Chain A
Amino acid sequence: MSILRAEQLQKTFATGSAARSGVAAVRGIDLEIDAGQFVAITGASGSGKSTLLHMLGGITRPTAGRVLLEGIDLAGLDDDALAVVRRRRIGFVFQRYNLLPELSLVENVALPLVLDGVADLRCRDAAAAALAAVGMEHRASHRPDELSGGEQQRGAIARALVTRPAIVLADEPTGALDSDNSRRVVELLAELVAERGQTVVLVTHDAGVAAGASRTIRISDGLVASDSARSAAVPVPTR
């Protein structure tokens, strides 16, 4: 069943002297992602893979084309409605973790629920459960600056999961980690897909990381250069 669909997505950035024509980062991508898939989007720097991810997550509005998340056209939503969709149906994981330094790990994880007006107790329980799912429950009360990079990223994954989103979008989640921590993070994401049926889309330029995904889409010059789903199915890795 398709959970996310992109139709003829385009994104042109107006920059400096090229303002009139702009720089085309994404030039017409069609994409369909099914529930429970673990998708890796790869490509060289500047290929447009991150821009594509941002459009899929409703962070950036496409210049043309549309994104349908669970059948909802994101282009038809205003900023606040889009924020609510992001809050409830999408989980984000970033390269630099982006945890608020003022809050403890469990408070960081609970933040999307807090924004959604969920009662304190339920927030705490859900955050604790999300932390347990990534094996970080023992570090719940620690501040981000007391955690290692790998631990912070696992905390960020817990935050992405806490609202039980339809899809988790991860932008270079291993970009700031050493190889050991990178492997652990990819394994964790794969586990979530395998055990909870969580849909995950990950952007990476690391072939090793992409190898952990069930489907690999390679972007080149703003277009889909290859999509493994169209050639052969890749078995989901297990522990």
Chain B
Amino acid sequence: MRLGRLLLRQWWNRPGRALATAASVAIAVGAVVATWVSADASRAGFRRLNEAVEGVPAIDILARGGGRFDIETLPSLGDLPGVRAAVPLFYRPTLLRVGEKRVREIAVGVDVGSLVDRGLMKLSAGRPCFGEDEVVLDTRLATALKKGLGDEILLFARRKIARMTVVGIAEGRSIAWFTEGAGVVVDIASLADMSRSLGLVDRVRVVLDGDASRTELLARVGDRLPATLMAEVPAGRSSMAEDVLHSANLGLDFVTGLTMAMAWFIVGNAMLMNVTERRRGFSLLRLLGATSRQVRRFVTIEAAILGGIGAVVGAALGLAAAGPISAGISRALQAPAAGLLVHPLVVPMAVITGTLVAVAAAWWPAREAAAVDPLEGLDAAPPPARGVPVRFILLALGLWGFAAAVMGLVLNERLPPRAAVPAGIAMLLAFVATTPAILPPLARALATLIPNRWRIEGKLAVEQILRQPVRTALTTGVLVVAVSNGIGLGHAIRDNVDDVLGWYARMMRADWMLTHAGMVRADGSSDGAEAVAAEEQIRNLDGVRRVEGIGVATGRVAGVACVIVARDLAADSPLPLDPVAATADEVRAALDRGEAVAGTVLARRTGIEPGDEVAVEVFGRSTKVRIAALVVDYTSGGASIHLRRDAARRLFGIQNADILLVSAAEGDAADLRDPLAAIAEQNGMLLRSFGDVQAFIDTIVNGVVGSLWAILGLGFLVGSLGVANTVTMSVLEKKRTLGLLRAIGMTSSQVTRMVVLQSLLLGAAGGLIGLLGGLVTAWFIQMASQPLLGHPIRASFRPGLVAMNLLAALLVTVLAAWIPARRASRLDLLEAVSSE
């Protein structure tokens, strides 16, 4: 007989214990797989959403000083990891003649065939265009012009008037990333030639892989460029979605990390219980001559087998759970469900890691089992621990120290914000490590709330909790993590989203919004006559109370790319900016004097301070402007400078508005739809109501928040399963004690109550510690976001969120304890009392 047979016999004899241990690993691995896959699904959904708002992730290469540049001066970039394609773009404001109708449009020159081949452009009909007599139209424009395949249009270029045949219809969303609203796509060489600019391009848009780091690639691309060229993030794009998603991504990283921590607790607890329950058996083995190495090996092999089985089952369960969660997330994000995206390494990694974690988690119990005093171990139960183990206090202090140090480095921008994730996890683990110290007084205090008629059960429940401080801390740790997750991330996300929404509401306060179909200018070539005309037409409409124009241009301050936002400031409307350390009146007065305000992110990146006079480079010309104050801003990620439109016209030559915000007189908003739509169509602009915009924003926000809640919910579910499993194992372990209690006259309902109360006290204690951890977590995430946003997010306390999480913790523990409690109350007395 080998010792392996003893193992098999032990499993056979007590299948519940082995199953519960394997189930713990399965729950833990399943949780990690489900969270991981769901988080990936969320990230993919976020990317699709971001692409829908911003276009594909890209970097622009422009001529330093503005204007077009020779494509031959651009070095090869295709070998840089993360670069999907470098797409030369040529823009030409033009006039189309369709029958008797003349339409101002921007023709975009690209290598259509190449884009279609690479999947960067989709044609709903026809084929790519080649040469001077072929054109591809955007679906929207084709519909508006009532033109289809084979129809002809006239395109007025500098060199000639080209008669062109429509050979393809492009899906609007697939070309928005480079047309930015324009609807005419022509072969780049032909368009440049027609404009007498053969070989020149306006810009090269470097398309990045979805998971590539734009910041990193910006630097690497920049390093390769000659002095005449520069690389920058496409300015003027709405980065609001990206900013919302940044927090969400940080949240996802946090949730994934915490799920892993929770998995450790669950597995660690299971292994600990699995071993301590057999303390007597191990003592006997030691007494009979087993070396400590043999005992350790016995425990380790068992952990590997049960861990392996649990990990395989868990990976399957995790994938099964991830399917509906991912689909739900896709629905919430209104992104097309792309099926379950599972990285091929996820399952093998989960199985291997799950097994290794089980083995690692068994290391300490194995060591304890091997070191058990043979005589003491033969006692039925270990003596209750007294006081707080010093190692826990040291561990907590170490974790706190690590978290504080990393956080300090993140705040000083020595480490990237993502480094805050392990720091945050370490901080939460520190809370768990302090649990053995906090739990005894907390459990006793909570026990005073138990009604008098359940006093005995409550007292016994407290005793059971305090008997095994390490194990209790691990069980409570699962709840602490789940509650901290819910409260911390809930607060952080809601505060972050509220901050972005508040900014958007301030910036875009109007009934209607007209956006210019063309691109944001990096040069002064567009005269903007149509936008000016549209503005005048709108102002003359009946029922219009106010028109505010917003012009956006790219610029540079101290070598950092930024956007210049030129905006009308109506005297009768609140300041649309949120000043930092200045009043709205002071900022308005400064803007009226022709001064500017800078976004906090730009200030952080360039070191600008209020009162500084900085050189702003726009359209190749450098102009000095005084920065009066800093403002919280999300335009282009907060790298922005705001000033009045008249000042922008005078200082930088920014003439027209890219966005027109139209406020209607009271009750006239609906009546303005038709005349505004007519003006928009006439001037190639897009009309959206405030409701449309709000709905769009809500879609993003609700989707992101919903997906995070789904994953947090999963955390709670896993937490409850972990607690249920722990309580089940605890009942199995205490079979003899429970049997004795029943034998001396405890009723079955008293036993049920005792087990449920024990679990409930754990839930309440875990919930309260988790509440503290959650609030610190929220603060942590907000601090970690500060270097990115340049300003602190206003923290709030949300009692509803807290109450919901605490109630969930209590509910989870009661439900988790119910079945084990019933089981405990039905124990066969003789069997229980005689159990080893």
Residue B374 lies at the interface, judged by CB distance under 8 Å to chain A: yes
A residues less than 8 Å from B13 (CB atoms): 101-102
**Known contacts A59-B374, A83-B290, A83-B292; is-contact A114 B1 (Cβ 8 Å):** yes
Residue A98 lies at the interface, judged by CB distance under 8 Å to chain B: yes
Surface stretch bound by A, among B3-11, B175-183, B578-586, B793-801: B3-11
Contact B281 A100 (CB under 8 A): yes
Sorting the interface of chain A by its residue count into under 10, 10 to 19, 20 to 34 or 35 or more gives 20 to 34
8 Å CB contacts to B: which residues of A33-87? 54, 59-60, 79-80, 83-87
B residues less than 8 Å from A123 (CB atoms): 1
In the assembled complex, how far is the CB of residue B3 from the closest CB belonging to chain A, in whole angstroms?
6
In the assembled complex, how far is the CB of residue B690 from the closest CB belonging to chain A, in whole angstroms?
73
How distant is the Cα of A145 from the Cα of B284 in the complex, in angstroms?
Answer: 17
Contact A100 B290 (CB under 8 A): no
In the assembled complex, how far is the CB of residue A94 from the closest CB belonging to chain B, in whole angstroms?
8
Contact B378 A98 (CB under 8 A): yes
Contact B288 A87 (CB under 8 A): yes
In the assembled complex, how far is the CB of residue A7 from the closest CB belonging to chain B, in whole angstroms?
22
**Known contacts A60-B375, A102-B6; is-contact A87 B289 (Cβ 8 Å):** yes
In the assembled complex, how far is the CB of residue B36 from the closest CB belonging to chain A, in whole angstroms?
38
How distant is the Cα of A54 from the Cα of B14 in the complex, in angstroms?
Answer: 31
Residue B228 lies at the interface, judged by CB distance under 8 Å to chain A: no
Residue B285 lies at the interface, judged by CB distance under 8 Å to chain A: yes
Residue B516 lies at the interface, judged by CB distance under 8 Å to chain A: no
Contact A86 B289 (CB under 8 A): yes
Contact A102 B288 (CB under 8 A): no
8 Å CB contacts to A: which residues of B366-409? 374-375, 378
**Known contacts A83-B290, A84-B289, A103-B9; is-contact A98 B284 (Cβ 8 Å):** yes
A residues less than 8 Å from B293 (CB atoms): 80
B residues less than 8 Å from A111 (CB atoms): 6, 285, 288
Residue A164 lies at the interface, judged by CB distance under 8 Å to chain B: no
B contact residues, total (Cβ < 8 Å): 27
B residues less than 8 Å from A114 (CB atoms): 1-3, 6
**Known contacts A60-B375, A98-B284, A98-B378; is-contact A120 B1 (Cβ 8 Å):** yes
Residue A166 lies at the interface, judged by CB distance under 8 Å to chain B: no
**Known contacts A83-B286, A102-B13; is-contact A107 B1 (Cβ 8 Å):** yes
A residues less than 8 Å from B285 (CB atoms): 111, 115
In the assembled complex, how far is the CB of residue A32 from the closest CB belonging to chain B, in whole angstroms?
24
Residue B287 lies at the interface, judged by CB distance under 8 Å to chain A: yes
How distant is the Cα of A120 from the Cα of B97 in the complex, in angstroms?
Answer: 96
In the assembled complex, how far is the CB of residue A105 from the closest CB belonging to chain B, in whole angstroms?
12
Residue B749 lies at the interface, judged by CB distance under 8 Å to chain A: no
8 Å CB contacts to A: which residues of B819-836? 834, 836
B residues less than 8 Å from A145 (CB atoms): 834
Residue A222 lies at the interface, judged by CB distance under 8 Å to chain B: no
8 Å CB contacts to A: which residues of B253-310? 281, 284-294
How distant is the Cα of A159 from the Cα of B285 in the complex, in angstroms?
Answer: 12
How distant is the Cα of A207 from the Cα of B293 in the complex, in angstroms?
Answer: 41
How distant is the Cα of A97 from the Cα of B703 in the complex, in angstroms?
Answer: 65
Residue B454 lies at the interface, judged by CB distance under 8 Å to chain A: no
B residues less than 8 Å from A102 (CB atoms): 6, 9-10, 12-14
In the assembled complex, how far is the CB of residue B158 from the closest CB belonging to chain A, in whole angstroms?
92
A residues less than 8 Å from B287 (CB atoms): 59, 86, 92, 98
How distant is the Cα of A102 from the Cα of B285 in the complex, in angstroms?
Answer: 13
A residues less than 8 Å from B2 (CB atoms): 114, 120
How distant is the Cα of A100 from the Cα of B291 in the complex, in angstroms?
Answer: 17
Contact B289 A88 (CB under 8 A): yes
- Residue of chain B at shortest CB distance from A81: B291
- Residue of chain B at shortest CB distance from A100: B281
B residues less than 8 Å from A101 (CB atoms): 13, 836
B residues less than 8 Å from A107 (CB atoms): 1, 5-6, 9
In the assembled complex, how far is the CB of residue A214 from the closest CB belonging to chain B, in whole angstroms?
26
How distant is the Cα of A239 from the Cα of B126 in the complex, in angstroms?
Answer: 110
Q: Mark B1-39, 1 if CB is under 8 A from A, else 0.
A: 111011001101110000000000000000000000000
B residues less than 8 Å from A150 (CB atoms): none
Residue A209 lies at the interface, judged by CB distance under 8 Å to chain B: no
Contact A112 B288 (CB under 8 A): yes
Q: State which of A84, A98, A159 has its C-beta within 8 Å of the C-beta of B291.
A: A84
- Residue of chain A at shortest CB distance from B374: A59
B residues less than 8 Å from A94 (CB atoms): 378
Contact A80 B288 (CB under 8 A): no
- Residue of chain A at shortest CB distance from B12: A102
Residue A124 lies at the interface, judged by CB distance under 8 Å to chain B: yes
Contact B291 A80 (CB under 8 A): yes
How distant is the Cα of A103 from the Cα of B5 in the complex, in angstroms?
Answer: 9
Q: State which of A60, A92, A120 has its C-beta within 8 Å of the C-beta of B288.
A: A92
8 Å CB contacts to B: which residues of A106-120? 107, 110-112, 114-116, 120
How distant is the Cα of A60 from the Cα of B281 in the complex, in angstroms?
Answer: 18
How distant is the Cα of A124 from the Cα of B291 in the complex, in angstroms?
Answer: 22
B residues less than 8 Å from A59 (CB atoms): 287, 374-375
Which one of B284, B292, B378 has the greatest number of beta carbons of chain A within 10 Å? B284
A residues less than 8 Å from B292 (CB atoms): 79-80, 83
How distant is the Cα of A110 from the Cα of B13 in the complex, in angstroms?
Answer: 19
How distant is the Cα of A5 from the Cα of B5 in the complex, in angstroms?
Answer: 38
Contact A54 B290 (CB under 8 A): no
How distant is the Cα of A88 from the Cα of B291 in the complex, in angstroms?
Answer: 12
Which one of B14, B294, B834 has the greatest number of beta carbons of chain A within 10 Å? B294
B residues less than 8 Å from A60 (CB atoms): 375
Contact B5 A115 (CB under 8 A): no
Contact B284 A115 (CB under 8 A): no
Q: Mark B434-458, 1 if CB is under 8 A from A, else 0.
A: 0000000000000000000000000
Known: A87-B289, A98-B284. 17 other contacts (CB 8 A): A59-B374, A80-B293, A83-B290, A84-B291, A86-B287, A87-B290, A101-B13, A102-B6, A102-B10, A107-B1, A111-B285, A111-B288, A114-B1, A115-B3, A115-B285, A115-B288, A145-B834
Instruction: List, sorted by A's number, 23 A–B pairs whose CB atoms are closer than 8 Å.
Output: A59-B375, A79-B291, A80-B291, A83-B286, A83-B289, A83-B290, A83-B291, A84-B291, A85-B289, A88-B289, A92-B287, A102-B6, A103-B6, A107-B5, A107-B9, A114-B2, A114-B6, A115-B285, A115-B289, A116-B289, A120-B1, A120-B2, A159-B288
Nearest first, the 8 closest Cβ-Cβ pairs linking A and B are A87-B289, A102-B9, A80-B291, A102-B13, A86-B289, A83-B291, A102-B10, A115-B290
